[in-house]
Amino acid sequence: MSDDAQARFRAELDALVGKPVGPAGPQLAPDEVNVPMIRHWADAMEDRNPFLATLATNSEFHVERYVRPGERISATTVIDAISDEKKTAIGRGHFVPWITTYRDDAGEVVGRQLFRLLKFKPEAREGAPS
């Protein structure tokens, strides 16, 4: 890719930073917080290795306060940044962190999640079908 093409592509990537991921505006959760789902979530946490097949991602979750049964939670997700192209063992690509902000009915922030993924083009491997 020429230097001019790389600069144009970088400008397109930078224009995405701070933009919503998905529809604009808060996305209302389909259900109220409820005791059975709290129990399912707690049971699920007993799984010591739920993301074994996930590559090149990480997630950080910060709880401002615990949600209460009966509350309706909404979420807004924005692209936080897009890295310069990186060469990794699985291919060249860009790390893209998203930040999701969770709010209660009154608009109070109850938590935030950082989710980072690698968008990449796989390297061609010898003997692999093309």
The CA distances from residue 87 to 17, 21, 66, 81, in Å, are 21, 25, 40, 18
CA distance 77 to 100: 4
What is the structure's pLDDT at 20? Answer: 81
126 domain residue, yes or no:
no
Domain count for the chain: 1
- Report the run of H or E that residue 42 belongs to, with start and end: helix 35-44
- Is this model's pTM higher than 0.75 or not? no
Assess if residue 25 is contained within a domain.
yes
List the domain range (segments joined by +) for residue 82.
Answer: 3-121
Note whether residue 65 is domain-resident.
yes
Residues making up the chain, counted from first to last: 130
Note the pLDDT of residue 84: 92
What is the model's pLDDT at position 71?
Answer: 94
Predicted pLDDT at 113: 94
Q: Is residue 108 part of a domain?
A: yes
Chunked mean pLDDT (size 10), the chain, 130 residues: 89 88 80 79 53 60 94 92 87 86 95 89 62
CATH at 103: 3.10.129.10
- φ/ψ region of 44 (left if φ > 0, alpha if ψ in -120 to 50, else beta) reads alpha
